[in-house]
Chains A and B, each alone.
Chain A
Amino acid sequence: MSILPSILAARNLTKSLDSGSHRVEILRGIDLEIPAGQFVAIMGASGSGKSTLLGLLAGLDTATSGTIVIDGVDITGLSEDKLALVRGRKIGFVFQSYQLLPTLTAEENVLLPHELAGGDVSAGIARARSLLDSVGLGDRLDHYPVQLSGGEQQRVALARAFMVKPPILMADEPTGNLDSVNGAHVLDLLITLNQREGTTLVLVTHDIALASRADRIVTMRDGAIVADELRDQAA
C-alpha cells in the first residue's frame, strides 16, 4: 500500500467484552498499517469501534488478540508502566473533552508530558510557551482550565499533545465539543502544527468535512474496516 516504513501497525486485532451472559465483539480482526507522516482519518458511525481502535493503537487498553507495533516497538503484552513510557515518548493525544488536569495551569498542563518524560524543565518551559503562543494562548499561561473556554481548553490540549514532539498524534473527535467556529480554528491549528512538526496524525471522527482534509480515510462498521481510501491531498 505504501513504500514508506509504517510507524504504526496493527495485525489481526480483536477486542471483545464479556457483559455477563453474552460476549460483545467490538473489533473483529483489524489490520492496519500507517506510514510515518500520514494523516489518517478513521470514520464510522457511533458504535462502529473507531474509538476503541484508537485506544488500542495508543496502548490505552489491551486487545483481546492481535499485535500492535508502535515505531518499531511491539506493545503486545507490555506492562502498564512500560506502556505508559511508550505513550509518553511516542504518542500525543487530543480528546473530545480536552482532559486537562484541573489542578494545573495552562502552562503546567502543556509542560506535564515533558516533565513525565524527565525532560529539562527550563528548556521545557520555553517550548511550552512557544506552543501556547502558536495556539494563540500566549497570554493565558497562568490560567486554570476552568478559567478557559472550551475552545481555549482544546487549544491547550493541542499544545500539550505536541509538547514532547511525539512521532504520532492521536485525536478522538477533537472538535466534537466545540461550535463550528471554534472547531474550525482548532482543526486548522491541529493540521498546521502537524505539518510543522512532521507528525503522523490519526484522527477519529464521524464528521465528513473534517475527514476530507486527511490523506487517507479508513471507514469502519461493526468493528471491522469496510473501506480504506488514499486521497490525493494536493492542497
Chain B
Amino acid sequence: MRLSLRTAGRIAWRETRSSLTKFLFVVFAVAIGVGALAGVRGFSESVRAMLNSESRTIMAADLSARQFAPPKPDQVAQLDQLGSRGVDRTLITETVSMAAAITPDAVPVLVSIKAVDPAKYPYYGAVKLSPEMALSQALTPETVIAGEDVLIRLGVKVGDPVRLGSADFRMAAIVISEPDRMSGSLNVGLRMMISREGFERTGLMQLGSRAAERYLFKIEPNGPSMEEARSAILEALPEARVIDSRESNPLITRGLDQATTFLSLISLIALIVGAIGVGMAMYAHLQQKMDNIAVMKSLGATSAEIIRIYTIQTLMLGLLGGIAGILLGRAVEEVFPSLINKIFEIKATTGWHFDAAVQGISVGMLTTLLFTLPPLVAIRKIRPAIILRRGMPDTKLPFRGRIAAAREPVFLGAIMLLGLDGIAGWLAGSARVGGYFAGGLFFSLIALAAVAALLLRGLRLFLRRSPVRLPSLVRQGFANLHRQGNQAQSILVAMGLGVMFTLTVYLIQSSLVDEIIQTAPPGVPNVYLVGVTLEQSAPLKQLIASQEGVLTAPQLSPSVSARLVRIDGQDVASRPMKGFARRYLNTRAITWENDQPGNIKVVDGKWWKPNTTEPVVSVDEDAAKTLDIRPESVIEMDVSGRIIKTRVVAEHNYEGARLAPSDFVFNEPALAGLPVVFNGGVRMQPSSAGALQRAIFSKYPTVTVVNVADVLQTVQQIIDQIALVIRFLSAFAILAGAIILAASVAGTRFRRIREVVILKTLGGTRHHIARIFSIEFLTLGAVAGLMGGLLASAFSRILLTRLLDAKFELDARAILVCVALTALLANVAGWFASVRILSQKPLEVLREE
C-alpha cells in the first residue's frame, strides 16, 4: 500500500478538523454510550458492594453451615485445614433451656440460648447493646446478655444475677439487635446470649440434648472464592446445610440477582443505543463525503486506502467520544455524589476507576467501529463517476433490512453480531447474556426490517391503487416514506430499535420493581406472636388493635405439632433419607387454612373449596420433592398419639416473605379437635414495637413476642434501594434512547435540504413544506413506535421469564403511549433538524450542483 498510516492519519485528522461541528453529534453519541457504560458499571459495583455487605451482615458471615450434631474430630480437622487456606470460622450453638432470676419466688422462663465466641462473632455487622458497649466487653465467662423481653419476664435488671443450667451469671446488657437474628434456627422465642466458656459452665451441652450447631465462616481477602469455600465446607460437613451470604435471606437473594443481571443489561443497552447513533451518524457523514471520496478515487486512491483513512477517522471519533464519556461520567459523579448518597444510602465510589475507564473507552471504540463497518465497506461501491454525473442512485447502506438480500451484508451482519455478542458477553461477564442479547438484536433487526419493508411496499401499493385520491399534502408526506433510495426503512429500523430498547428497559424495570416490592410487601409482620391459645386469640387481637402504631390487622394462624409417619402406607422412617432431609422425621408444626392465603401459590394440583369436609392437605413443593409426595398421595401424621390420615390435593410454594412457613397446610376439618396453639404476627411502626411487647407480656405472660422490626427494616431498605437504582438507571437508558431517536430523524437532514429548495423553487411556501414533513415524521414515528412497542413486549417477555425469572404481563397502554410519544418525538426531532433548512435560500443549494 502506498498510503502510509501516518499520511492516512493526517488526512483523516484534516477531514475531522474541517467538519468538527458536524462530528460533535458522533462524539456526543459515543460519549453518552460510554458515559452510561462507565457510570452504570461504577454505580452497579458500588451497589453490589453495598448489597453484598448488607447481606453478609444479615447472616454475620460469608457462609454458614448448620447441623444438628456436633462435628466429629475428623471434620474439625478438615475445617482447620480450610482455616489455614483463609477461611476463618466460629461456632454458634443454639439450644433452649430454663433461666431464672436468683430470688426465692423466681419463675423459670424458657429461653433460647445462643453461645458465641465474642472475639470472632459477628464477622459482619454488630450486636447492639444497651448500655452501649462492645460485645466482647459485655460477654465474659461470667455474664450473659438478653433481649429486653427476657429481662421483663425474669424480672431482672442489667447487673442482676440470673441462673442458667447449673451456673450463675450476671446480666451484663440488653440486646437491642443482633445481625443474624433471622438466620438462626431457634430464632423464635426469648433470646439469651452467652460466651462459649460460659456455656461450658452451664453444663447444658450434654450428649443428646437438642442443640443446633452453626458454623459461621469468613473468607479472608487472600482466601478462596465463595464457591470454592462452599464446596470445601460441604465436603467437610456433608450433613450440614450450607448457605452463603447471597442466599442468606430469600427476601434479598432474588432481588439482588435480578438487579445484577438487569444492571448489566442496562449498561449494554445504553451502549448499543449509542453505537447505533454513531453508525447512523457515520453513514450520513460518508454519504456527504461521497464527492470527496469520488475525487480521491479519481486522483488515484484505492478503496482500501480510503477505507483506511475513514477507519482512522472513525477510531479517532470513538476515542474522542470515549474520553468525553469518561469525563462525562466523572463530572456526574463529581456533581451528584451528595444526591446519590442521599437517595441510595450508599457511598458512591468516587475517584478514577482506571479499569472501568479503559474498558469504557475500548468498548466505545470497538462498538463505534463495529457499527461503522457497513458504511466503511460501502466506500468500495462509490464510483468516481459521480463527480461527473450527478443524480445517480444512492449507495444503499447494506446493513438493516437487506441482510437477506446479498452475501456481503450477511457476512457483515454476522461479523457485527459476533462482535456484539463478544462485547455483550464481556460486559455482562456471561456468555449466556451476551447470546441472548445478540440473538435478540438479530431477531429484532430482521423483524423490524421485514415489517418496515412490508409496510413501505404496502403504502406504495395503496398510494398507487387507491381509488380515493388523497390530499396532495398527505400523498407527498407518504410519498417521502417510500422514495427510491431513501432511508425510510433504515430510519424505521433504527428508530424501532431505539423504541424497542427503551420500552424494554421500561417494561422490565416496572415488572422487576413490582416483583421486588411484592417480595417484601409493606404489610409483612415485623412483630411475631408465638404460643397463643385458642381462648387468648380473640382478646389478644383486640389488645393489639388498641395499641398505637399498628399498621396491619394482626394475623394468627393455627399450629399443631405433628410428626409424619407414613406416606402412601409406607413407613417414613424406613425411607433412605439423609442429611437435612431427616428433619422431616421430627415433630413439626402443621397448620390449617380454609381459604388459600395470598402468599401461597399452588404449583401442582388444586386448592380445596372453602366447605370441603373431607380431610385434605397441601404440601410445600420442596418437602413434596424430598419426600416424594404427589397430589393424590395419602399421608399419615401422628398428633399426640392420634393418627391423622389425609389425602394430598395440592403442592404449594410461598411467595415473598415466609417467616413462619409450614410444610403441610391442611383444611380445618382435617385437624378438628386437636391441641392447637396460634402463631402469627402484626406489622407495627418499629418505634411502637417495644411498647406492644410490654403490653402483651403484662396481660398474657405465656405469649412469646418476637420483635424483628429492626431486621425487617434493613431488608425493606435494601429492597427499596434496589428498586431505586433500577429506576434511576432506566431513566438514563431511556434518555439515551430518546437522543438516538432524535438523531435518526436528524440524519435525514441533508436529503431534505434538496427537497426543500426544489419545493420552494416550484412555489411551495414554508408552511406547505412544513406540513408535508410533519406528515412524514408523524407517520415514521407512529410506525416505529408501534413496531418497537410490539417487539419490546416480546423481548421483555423473553428476558423476564427466561433470564430474570420474573413475571410478564402485556401492557397495551404502554405500547399506545409509546406510539404517541415516538410520533411526537419524531416530529419534534424532525423539526429540530429541519427548521434551519426551511429558511434555506434555494440558490445556495442549487448552485452547488
Contact = CB atoms under 8 A, between A and B. Distances in A.
A168 to B, nearest CB: 13
A101 B763 contact: no
Q: Secondary structure at chain A's binding surface: helix, strand, loop or mixed?
A: helix
A146 B389 CA distance: 13
B85 interface: no
A98 interface: yes
A145 interface: yes
A167 to B, nearest CB: 13
Of A85, A96, A113, A116, chain B has the most CB atoms within 10 Å of the CB of A116
Contacts of A87: 760-763
A112 B479 contact: no
Interface in A186-200: none
A89 interface: yes
Interface stretch (A34-42, A55-63, A128-136, A218-226): A55-63
A99 B758 contact: yes
Contacts of A115: 472
B395 to A, nearest CB: 12
Given A102-B485, A103-B482, A84 B765 contact: yes
B128 to A, nearest CB: 74
Contacts of A108: 475, 479
A153 B758 CA distance: 15
A88 to B, nearest CB: 2
Most A C-beta atoms less than 10 A away, residue of B390, B391, B766, B844: B391
A121 interface: yes
Interface of B: 389-391, 393, 464, 469, 472, 475-476, 479-480, 482-486, 754-755, 758-768, 839, 841-844, 846-847, 849
A147 interface: yes
Nearest to A114: B472
Contacts of B472: 111, 115, 121
A93 B762 contact: yes
Contacts of A116: 759, 762-764, 768
Given A51-B847, A177-B390, A81 B762 contact: no
Nearest to B765: A81
Contacts of A58: 761
A61 B839 CA distance: 11
Given A142-B464, A146-B393, A153-B391, A89 B479 contact: no
Nearest to B751: A102
A88 B844 CA distance: 19
A205 B841 CA distance: 22
Most chain B beta carbons < 10 A, residue from A84, A85, A150, A172? A84
Interface of A: 51-52, 55-56, 58, 60-62, 80-81, 84-89, 93, 95-104, 108, 111-113, 115-117, 121, 142, 144-147, 150, 153, 160, 164, 172, 177
Given A85-B765, A93-B762, A121-B472, A150 B389 contact: yes
B389 A177 contact: yes
Contacts of B760: 60, 80, 84, 87
Contacts of B761: 58, 60, 87, 93, 99
B762 A55 contact: no
A96 B764 contact: no
A56 B843 CA distance: 8
Contacts of A93: 761-762
B261 to A, nearest CB: 45
Contacts of B764: 84, 88, 116
A51 B763 CA distance: 19
Contacts of A96: 849
B842 A103 contact: no
Nearest to B763: A88
Contact of B846 (A99, A121, A147): A99
B763 A89 contact: yes
A211 B522 CA distance: 89
Contacts of A164: 763
A51 B469 CA distance: 38
Contact of A98 (B391, B464, B484, B843): B391
Given A88-B764, A101-B755, 15 more contacts: A60-B760, A62-B841, A81-B765, A81-B766, A84-B763, A87-B761, A93-B762, A103-B480, A113-B762, A116-B763, A116-B764, A121-B472, A145-B484, A146-B484, A172-B846
Contacts of A55: 842-843, 846-847
Contacts of A62: 841
A58 B803 CA distance: 65
Given A51-B847, A55-B843, A61-B843, A103 B763 contact: no
Interface centre among B464, B485, B842, B844, by most chain A C-beta atoms within 10 angstroms, is B842
A60 B842 contact: yes
Nearest to B840: A80
A231 to B, nearest CB: 28
Nearest to A112: B762
A81 B767 contact: yes
B484 A102 contact: yes
A86 B765 CA distance: 10
21 contacts: A55-B842, A55-B843, A55-B846, A55-B847, A60-B842, A61-B841, A81-B767, A85-B763, A86-B763, A88-B762, A93-B761, A97-B391, A100-B758, A101-B758, A113-B763, A115-B472, A116-B759, A117-B763, A121-B469, A160-B762, A172-B846
Contacts of B843: 52, 55-56, 60-61
A80 B846 CA distance: 16
B387 to A, nearest CB: 13
Chain B CB count within 10 A is highest, among A85, A121, A146, for: A146
Contacts of A97: 390-391, 849
A56 B758 CA distance: 16
Contacts of A142: 464
Given A55-B846, A81-B766, A87-B763, A144 B484 contact: yes
A150 B484 contact: no
B839 A103 contact: no
Contacts of B768: 116
B308 to A, nearest CB: 31
Contacts of A172: 846
Contacts of A52: 843, 847
Given A98-B391, A102-B483, A146-B485, A61 B844 contact: yes
B381 to A, nearest CB: 16
Q: Among A52, A115, A117, which residue has the most Cβ atoms of chain B within 10 A?
A: A115
A102 B486 CA distance: 8
A98 B761 CA distance: 12
A19 B133 CA distance: 81
Given A80-B839, A85-B763, A112-B762, A147 B484 contact: yes
Contacts of B766: 80-81, 84
Nearest to B761: A93
Contacts of B469: 121
A52 B843 CA distance: 8
A115 B482 CA distance: 20
A122 to B, nearest CB: 8
A135 to B, nearest CB: 17
Which interface residue of A51, A102, A147 has the most chain B CB atoms within 10 A?
A102
Contact of A145 (B391, B839, B847): B391
Contacts of A144: 483-484
A104 B846 contact: no
A108 B390 CA distance: 21
Contacts of B765: 81, 84-85
A108 B762 CA distance: 13
A145 B758 CA distance: 14
Q: Which of A52, A60, A142 has the most CB of B within 10 A?
A: A60
Contact of A104 (B389, B479, B839, B847): B479
The list of the 7 closest CB pairs from A to B, nearest first, reads: A88-B763, A103-B483, A61-B843, A55-B843, A115-B472, A60-B843, A81-B765
Nearest to B482: A103
Contacts of B389: 150, 177
A89 B336 CA distance: 60
A102 B846 CA distance: 15
